[in-house]
Amino acid sequence: MKCSEFLKELTDYLDDRIDAPTKAELEEHLQWCHNCYVVCNTTKMTIEIYRDSHLYELPDDLRTRLRSAIVSKCKGPKDSASSEQPPDSATDKR
Ligand SMILES: [Zn+2]
């Protein structure tokens, strides 16, 4: 089985919607293909988180705070409130 075939069957495998021989082939692929093993694990975890988030609805307040925390983290390391000026304006003054 090739990686592309594995990935094609992966969602069905995680949903347990495949027949036994195909399942055995997928599991055999996981034995030697680390790449697909990682993809399989990551997908499985994502599905579990997704299912959990349906069971426990996040309160809107927490969701907003989580999002802003993620956004501020993505903006980079300079998170101090004192450095409000962009670095470009500093070069203008010289
Ligand atoms: Zn593979």
pLDDT digits 0-9 by tens, 14-50: 888 999 999 999 999 999 999 999 999 998 888 888 7
Single-letter code of the amino acid located at 85: Q
Cα of 53 from ligand 1 centre, angstroms: 29
Cα of 45 from ligand 1 centre, angstroms: 18
Cα of 52 from ligand 1 centre, angstroms: 28
Phi, then psi, of 22 in degrees rounded to 5: -65, -40
Cβ neighbours, 10 Å, residue 84: 6
Cα of 71 from ligand 1 centre, angstroms: 34
Q: What is the mean pLDDT of residues 44-62?
A: 76
pTM of the predicted model, to two decimals? 0.53
Tens of pLDDT, residue by residue over 70-81, are 788 778 666 555
Cα of 47 from ligand 1 centre, angstroms: 20
Residue 58 has pLDDT above 80, yes or no: no
Q: Is 34 exposed, middle or buried (0-12, 13-18, 19+ CB in 10 A)?
A: exposed
Cβ neighbours, 10 Å, residue 43: 15
8 A C-beta contact, residue 57 and residue 50? no
pLDDT score for 77: 64
